[in-house]
Amino acid sequence: MNSATMQNNGERKLEDRARMLISCPDRPGIVAAVSQFLHNHGANIVESDQYSMDPEGGLFFIRIVFDLPQFQQQETELKSKFAGVASQFQMKWRLTSAARKKRMAVFVSKEAHCLQELLWQWQAGDLDVEIAMVVSNHAVLQPVVEPFGIPFHHIPVTKETRQEAEQKQIALLQGEVDFVVLARYMQILSADFIQQYPNLIINIHHSFLPAFVGSKPYAQAYERGVKLIGATAHYVTENLDAGPIIEQDVQRVNHRDDVEDLKRIGRHIERVVLARAVNWHIQDRILVHGNKTVVFS
């Protein structure tokens, strides 16, 4: 079998693959009902992961990946029929095609490290996503983006033009993207912006918060002699830097590390943590419950 045939077979297989995410009150029979429904419609479950908060009345979460020949042609009908099962168990659910790439917008300011990690992983095929655009309040990163053939939009933001600039951003995104990634975008989004993309905006920041606020957190951390440096990726809510956490990581540091060392280590952790969170979102591995997430990683 030649490489072209293998690629075509892989694409056909992906076209038949779907992902289902469900959360509902826990009770007996949920897995059986979903599995029976899929079996009755000719689907083959290839992956299943589940979690119960409390078998005695808590919530139940499940992610199922299945193959169904000609899924995309049957998708609308399948969703309509599954609504009955969902109603019976009070489910919140979504069903998506694995072959349908999500469209992502990346917002940046001046720091390149998180943006570069996303671009590199996308170029290597490790992020199965369409990068629809990069939006920035500065033009400094345009030369980084242009070689990738991705549209770059420079929309300056000042105190006086903040609302007007955000309206331009919203107009750019309308109908063009499924979710937004803030790759060290150093502006606060308005409640109006956030409400248009609930649990669809991913942010990254250092993990010193709330201890070291302000513009020089690494200098503050150095003065306090911190022993751990970390980063947090989370969904954006109206509460600043307090949305549902998707992923975190840390690295040990010591007295030999100066402020520049701390910054360098912090940048590395930020880029890895953000890319990991974005990849999990792309793969429909995250369910949000209140201000927490269940991540089937």
Tens-place pLDDT, residues 144-180:
999 999 999 999 999 999 999 999 999 999 999 999 9
pLDDT tops 60 at residue 213: yes
Catalytic residue among 16, 126, 128, 241: 241
| CB contact at 8 A, 68 and 28 | no
246-275 burial: b if 16+ Cβ within 10 Å, else e: bbebeeebeeebeeeebbebbbbbbbbbbb
CA geometry: angle at 104 spanning 210 and 79, to 5°? 105
Question: Which residue's entry shows tokens 């079998």?
Answer: 1
For the chain, how big is the Rg over CA atoms in Å? 21
Write down the pLDDT at residue 264.
94
pLDDT tops 80 at residue 29: yes
Tell me the average pLDDT of the chain: 92
pLDDT tops 90 at residue 8: no
Q: How confident is the model at residue 5 (pLDDT cuts 50, 70, 90)?
A: very low
Sign of CA dihedral 116, 122, 126, 129: positive
Strand partners, 104: 131, 179
SS3 186: coil
Each as own residue / partner, the long-range contacts of residues 39-42 (CB below 8 Å, 24 or more positions apart, any chain) are 41/68, 41/74, 41/78, 41/81, 42/68, 42/69
Residue type, 236: V
pLDDT tops 70 at residue 209: no
Write down the pLDDT at residue 4.
45
Residue type, 29: G
Lowest mean per-residue pLDDT among 116-125, 167-176, 186-195, 210-219: 210-219
Q: How confident is the model at residue 216 (pLDDT cuts 50, 70, 90)?
A: confident
Q: What is the pTM of this model?
A: 0.92
Mean pLDDT score, 231-256: 94
Lowest mean per-residue pLDDT among 114-118, 143-147, 173-177, 212-216: 212-216
Write down the pLDDT at residue 11.
57
| CB contact at 8 A, 20 and 93 | yes
| CB contact at 8 A, 31 and 60 | no
Two tokens, residue 286: 């995250």
pLDDT tops 70 at residue 221: yes
Percent of the chain with pLDDT over 90: 84
| CB contact at 8 A, 203 and 243 | yes
Annotated active-site residue 192? The verdict is: no
